[in-house]
Each structure stands twice: as C-alpha cells, then as structure tokens.
Chain A
Amino acid sequence: GAVVSQHPSWVICKSGTSVKIECRSLDFQATTMFWYRQFPKQSLMLMATSNEGSKATYEQGVEKDKFLINHASLTLSTLTVTSAHPEDSSFYICSARDRDTGELFFGEGSRLTVL
C-alpha cells in the first residue's frame, strides 16, 4: 500500500535551534500534504496545508514564521520549526493526498523534544 515516510521519527534539540522534519510520499505523487500537531493524549490539530509549488495555507493561530513549510516537489514537504522552544515539543504528523486517487495517507509521525 501507499506509504508516507517522515524523517526523523525522533529528534531532540536545544532551545533556540531550528529543526527540519521531512514528509515523503514514497510511491505516489502528492500535490497536497498536511501537517498536524498532536499533544500528549490529545487529538490531532491541523497546522497547515502544504501545496506543491505554492505557499502553505496556515490554520488560525499557527505562526507561519515559526513553522516554515516548503513543498518543493510532488513527493516531499518539509516543516521547519524555527528557534524552537520547549513548548514546541510535540508529535508532528503529516499526511499526503494521492494526486491520482485522492486517497489520504498518514505518516508515522515525528516526535520533537526541545530541551
């Protein structure tokens, strides 16, 4: 079946540094990818919609300068958490929509811990 890969799956960084998380669709092309944030024992919260070749669309309350999203190709979107702080520690999950079938697939998630 279709696979969406996230890398890294775990990352620990110091406060003030930036962290990049990659989301790749491995066997399909995705014009649209989505980034979610999940706090412990809570549901997923949509952060932004990433469109290939154009600017991301951010949900209300999500700082676009804090969470930089780039969707440079039909198989890759990246989320960069800039100047990370402990409150940015969370589980980040991406999903990708198959351009041909319209089906949505989720990545395995990336756990960010900011010290």
Chain B
Amino acid sequence: AQSVTQLDSHVSVSEGTPVLLRCNYSSSYSPSLFWYVQHPNKGLQLLLKYTSAATLVKGINGFEAEFKKSETSFHLTKPSAHMSDAAEYFCVVSYNNAGNMLTFGGGTRLMVKP
C-alpha cells in the first residue's frame, strides 16, 4: 500500500522569503513522486516529478524538491516566494504514471503575505 502525508495544511510566508512544503510518503516499492499546484477553481499543474533519476529535482517557477529515501520525504522548496505562488499544493505518489495508481496528499495551502 502507498500513502502520502502533507504535514501542514496551511503555510504562510512573506513575499521574498523561502518556502518549505513538507511531504512524507510510504510505499512498498520504489515510488514516483510528484508535486502539483492548483490555483483557485483551476485544474492541477505539474510542478516537478521524481522518477528514480537525480534525487534533487528542479521544477517550474523556481521550485525544487529533494527525494530522501532514508527519511521517506519529498519536501518542496523555493528560495524566494512570490505573490503568484499562493495556491494549493499537492504531493502525489505513484508506482507508475497511471492515473488510477496516484495517491494524493491532503494538500497544503500556501499563503504569501506582501
């Protein structure tokens, strides 16, 4: 069985400060891990994905995530938050890229203060 836990339901940062969104997973097999962003009333946009290549994954909009097998974590970071980063973020784990094998975390709402 696989599961994913996003440790914070809400994160609030000031514009220009670093962002850290935490994600821990459990999986019996080598997982693929994804981070998606969802703006209000919009679908999901893929930020980045890990599929057993480099453990530090760089994504769009300055985001990156590091796969740490020993900690079963895949935290999302960004050095400097922008107002447009305010959105809901989902950490997702999968054995493959099939939509019926995706397990979504509960989501983290990122708020960015001016």
| Chain A residues packing against B (C-beta within 8 Å) | 4, 6, 9, 32-34, 41-44, 46, 49, 57, 91, 93, 95, 97, 102-109, 111
Contacts and interface: CB of A to CB of B under 8 A. Distances in A.
Contact of A42 (B45, B97, B102, B107): B107
Interface string B22-59: 00000000000000100001111110000000000000
Contact of B106 (A42, A57, A106, A109): A42
What 6 pairs across the A-B complex have the smallest Cβ distances?
A34-B99, A106-B44, A108-B43, A43-B104, A106-B43, A109-B43
Contacts of B42: 108-109
B106 A43 contact: yes
Nearest to A5: B43
A98 B10 CA distance: 33
A104 B34 CA distance: 11
Given A44-B90, A108-B42, A109-B43, A97 B97 contact: yes
Nearest to B6: A43
Contact of A49 (B97, B100, B105): B100
